[in-house]
Structure 1
Amino acid sequence: MTVKFKFRKRAHHVFLAMMLVVLSSACTPVVQQAGESRVDPELTATTLTTFDDKELPVKIWEATEGTRAVIIAVHGINDYSNAFAFPGSWWSTQGITTIAYDQRGFGATPETGVWPGQDLMVRDLASLVEQAKQKYPTVPIYLLGESMGGAVVMTAVGDPEFPEVSGAILSAPAVWGWQSLNIFYKTVLWTAAHTFPETKLTGRGLGVQASDNISVLRNLGADPLFIKATRIDAIYGLVDLMDNAYEAADDLLPPILLLYGEKDELVPKSSVDAMAARLPEDVDIVLYENGWHMLMRDLQGPVVWRDIADWIFERNISSGNKINGLPLFPKNE
């Protein structure tokens, strides 16, 4: 009787293991697939037409008295181009034209909520850079990435085949990749993404705050284009992207401006510390003591806007926030 019981117990475990294998092989993370190359990318005042004839919504805040520099702005997870409305409007008075777009899977694009994959994200950004160069052939072009957008920018400019730009600005870049997760979180995320990838998580109840600007947070909660619940396979894809961005830090070349808020509750400072230690020595780094994750939409957002403009034109920070010179991040220790 005892032997029979042990056999059944072992058979039960084998059966469960087989079921897990079947489940994991039957469900895989969904990633958007590129269509055939059918058209040349084209930038208009409202859209970027991609190589496979997808239309990505675009917002442009044109400089009011002549463009002295162009910022191509790349939004974070679940966000879209409207994230840069406030700084874009202000930069337009400073001689900076801002171009922001909805990345695939976000905002008003097709397949909203479905992860687009790093290759497509970088390819679309490259197309936008090339189009901006055609439209503004004599002015410097800078990339600005916020959170997930920062990870996209890092992987893009670290690619030797990516179009040359004049500099990159990384605002709270998402670099909390696989290297930052313990084995338990890695296992849970991989299993969830391969068993029920379409399940959505809201993040409610985690007690995490993205900004001290409550009005902005309320507006995002009411904005139908801001994604409120994230697919698990999109989180899985994001972690992959963040991991690649972390590794790309070794290949980034100045000029680079790295911005981080000391009160950031979304991207751990330890991850940014580790990434910053891999950057070249002459990268400019600013730590905002009262900054949260959404630095450009915080209550002190205008300070950040001016710092970015000053850095573009003068490589200087006028707000009094420390740039270089301070051990904000332990580098090469």
Structure 2
Amino acid sequence: MGIRLKPSPAWLLFQAVISFLALPASAAVIREDTASLGGEQYPCVYKWSDPSTRPQAVVIAVHGVTLHGLNFDALATHLAERGIVVFAPDLRGYGRWCNSKNPGQDEGSAVAYHQSGQDLISLIDAAKSDYPRLPLYCLGESLGAGIALYAAAEEPCLVDGLILSSPAVKRRLNLSPKLIPLVLSDAAKACANPIREVNLTPYIKKFASSDPRVVNEKINDPLVRKRLSALDLLKTVKSIRSTLKYAAKVKPNVPVLVIQASNDKVLKGKAVVELLAHLHSEDQTVKWFNNRGHLMLETSYLHPDVLQTVDRWLDDHILLGKPLLRISDSSAVATFSRSSFNQSESN
């Protein structure tokens, strides 16, 4: 009669790591422009997966203002090659929702952030039903970070972690002298007719990124929305103001990765300190990138160090369950962050 030895937890962990690292090379990542979940079709949700690899986790990526889910194509393809199933919805009023024959009247064609948050929760529920044993992470950039926080606050049992890039907390109000006449003109037109759309192209050129390739990518993307009404912009401001409220409701056991650029011309980098103070997460990882602009994940021009940060954080939490950098003392967060942010703000 043989003797069966019970493997130790350390041995099981070692096997899991080796199994993950020894995944076969990707045959080809498949992108579905209409995601299928639970037998239902999601026409405004993209999905990336690699059938040659064993799924390790699910990531749902949420885009920012004017953008759309396909802006995550490079990042999602990279993650799918590593065994992560990625979904990216178009928020209502953006991307393919704008292909409506009756803009602003057909369902989904109008900007609606609260309803987009509800859509995200439904997508999380469906993804968890199809992948019940996989950890699920919400990733959001800019305004998308606030919507990801909303979903994590509403679905604490389904969201296993958050990745927040350039989170929209507080807008920058300083404008270059060249833009002031344009801003005043647009403001006057908006006051006269709040539903009249404002041309956002000059603002995208100025603020989207410090990398001209990223700016040109957005300007030439037909799915990027280049015009919004004053009412839509007010909805956007209102949504941004809710970010801290949602952050305070996220459960302490939800790990959070925050990445922020020093050259963000859209949002105040200092506000990330305030975001960290509102988050009760016992597992906060913060990564600061010097000389980078607002958009870091929603582009084809991904920087290797940004990818490495996201990869390591995901690997750490999928396999090991512990952070790269644990910051549990709120005073330590402020001390760690304030010098970096103050240095950035002075540049």
TM-score strictly above 0.5: yes
Which secondary structure state, in structure 1, belongs to the residue aligned with residue 97 of structure 2?
Answer: coil
In the aligned structure 2, how far is the partner of 1:76 from the partner of 1:278? 21
TM-score by length of 1: 0.71
Shift in CA distance, 298/99, structure 1 to aligned 2, threshold 3 Å? closer
In the aligned structure 2, how far is the partner of 1:125 from the partner of 1:154? 11
Deviation at 1:212, TM superposition (A): 3.7
Q: Displaced runs of 4+ in structure 1, greater than 6 A?
A: none
Shift in CA distance, 49/104, structure 1 to aligned 2, threshold 3 Å? farther
Which secondary structure state, in structure 2, belongs to the residue aligned with residue 277 of structure 1?
Answer: helix
Shift in CA distance, 208/271, structure 1 to aligned 2, threshold 3 Å? farther
Deviation at 1:209, TM superposition (A): 3.4
Report the counterpart of residue 45 of structure 2 in structure 1: 58
Shift in CA distance, 323/294, structure 1 to aligned 2, threshold 3 Å? farther
Report the counterpart of residue 258 of structure 1 in structure 2: 258
User: Structure 1 residue 329 and structure 2 residue 317: aligned?
Assistant: no
2:151 to 150, 153, 156: 156
Deviation at 1:231, TM superposition (A): 1.8
User: Would you say the 8 A contact 2:44–2:96 is kept in 1?
Assistant: yes
Equivalent AA in structure 2 for residue 167 of structure 1: G
Report the counterpart of residue 25 of structure 2 in structure 1: none
Which secondary structure state, in structure 2, belongs to the residue aligned with residue 133 of structure 1?
Answer: helix
Report the counterpart of residue 19 of structure 2 in structure 1: none
Aligned length: 275
Deviation at 1:194, TM superposition (A): 8.9
1:306 to 290, 296, 308: 308
Shift in CA distance, 169/104, structure 1 to aligned 2, threshold 3 Å? same
User: Would you say the 8 A contact 1:147–1:173 is kept in 2?
Assistant: yes
User: Would you say the 8 A contact 2:35–2:46 is kept in 1?
Assistant: no
In the aligned structure 2, how far is the partner of 1:120 from the partner of 1:89? 27
In the aligned structure 1, how far is the partner of 2:89 from the partner of 2:315? 24
Report the counterpart of residue 74 of structure 1 in structure 2: 62
Which secondary structure state, in structure 2, belongs to the residue aligned with residue 158 of structure 1?
Answer: helix
Structure 1 unaligned runs (5+)?
Answer: 1-43
Deviates more, 1:283-292 or 1:75-84: 283-292
User: Structure 1 residue 293 and structure 2 residue 294: aligned?
Assistant: yes
Report the counterpart of residue 96 of structure 1 in structure 2: 84
Which secondary structure state, in structure 1, belongs to the residue aligned with residue 258 of structure 2?
Answer: strand
Deviation at 1:213, TM superposition (A): 3.4
Report the counterpart of residue 96 of structure 2 in structure 1: 108
Which secondary structure state, in structure 2, belongs to the residue aligned with residue 143 of structure 1?
Answer: strand
In the aligned structure 1, how far is the partner of 2:258 from the partner of 2:210? 20
Report the counterpart of residue 269 of structure 2 in structure 1: 269
Shift in CA distance, 59/212, structure 1 to aligned 2, threshold 3 Å? same
Deviates more, 1:67-76 or 1:57-66: 57-66
Structure 2 unaligned runs (5+)?
Answer: 1-30, 175-182, 319-323, 340-347
Which secondary structure state, in structure 2, belongs to the residue aligned with residue 246 of structure 1?
Answer: helix
User: Structure 1 residue 118 and structure 2 residue 121: aligned?
Assistant: no
In the aligned structure 2, how far is the partner of 1:155 from the partner of 1:56? 23
Deviation at 1:142, TM superposition (A): 0.5
User: Structure 1 residue 144 and structure 2 residue 132: aligned?
Assistant: no
User: Would you say the 8 A contact 2:248–2:278 is kept in 1?
Assistant: yes
Shift in CA distance, 96/273, structure 1 to aligned 2, threshold 3 Å? same
Report the counterpart of residue 166 of structure 1 in structure 2: 160
User: Would you say the 8 A contact 1:115–1:233 is kept in 2?
Assistant: no
In the aligned structure 1, how far is the partner of 2:317 from the partner of 2:41? 37
Shift in CA distance, 71/207, structure 1 to aligned 2, threshold 3 Å? closer
Shift in CA distance, 49/122, structure 1 to aligned 2, threshold 3 Å? farther
In the aligned structure 2, how far is the partner of 1:207 from the partner of 1:225? 16
TM-score by length of 2: 0.68
User: Would you say the 8 A contact 1:260–1:288 is kept in 2?
Assistant: yes
Equivalent AA in structure 2 for residue 261 of structure 1: A
Report the counterpart of residue 231 of structure 1 in structure 2: 229
Report the counterpart of residue 46 of structure 1 in structure 2: 33
Q: How does 1:207-226 map to 2 (within 5 A)?
A: 208-226=206-224
Equivalent AA in structure 2 for residue 97 of structure 1: V
In the aligned structure 1, how far is the partner of 2:203 from the partner of 2:294? 18
Give % identity. Answer: 25
2:198 to 197, 200, 214: 200
User: Would you say the 8 A contact 1:142–1:169 is kept in 2?
Assistant: yes
Larger radius of gyration: 1
Shift in CA distance, 271/49, structure 1 to aligned 2, threshold 3 Å? same
Deviation at 1:175, TM superposition (A): 1.6
Deviation at 1:315, TM superposition (A): 4.6
